[in-house]
Amino acid sequence: MASRLGNTIPFKQFMLRSEVLKLYRDIMRAIRQVSDADHRRELTEWVRHDFKQNKHHQDEETIKMMLMKGRMSLKELESAIHLAR
């Protein structure tokens, strides 16, 4: 049983990871509302690239800062989608 517990991550890291995954899912859900298929595909690629490019970060403050920026970007995206309707 000890070998199974050897791969666990600290609780703070787990919570940050879950916040990052929630942000990713929320952004992808918002992108689904974009009517133009080309724009939707471009936005999806951009989001995937950004998340992959930044997945190596381990510093808690850096991750929190990126989460804040991501949430602001999500709000801007949602506003733009709402205005486009």
* pLDDT of amino acid 5: 64
Quick one: what percent of the chain has pLDDT higher than 70?
A: 93
- Listed by start position, the domains of the chain span 61-85
Please tell me the pTM assigned to this model. 0.88
* pLDDT of amino acid 1: 46
For residue range 53-76, list pLDDT tens digits in order.
999 999 999 999 999 999 999 999
For the chain, the average pLDDT equals: 93
Pairwise CA distance, residues 80 & 68, whole Å: 18
pLDDT at 3 > cutoff 80: no
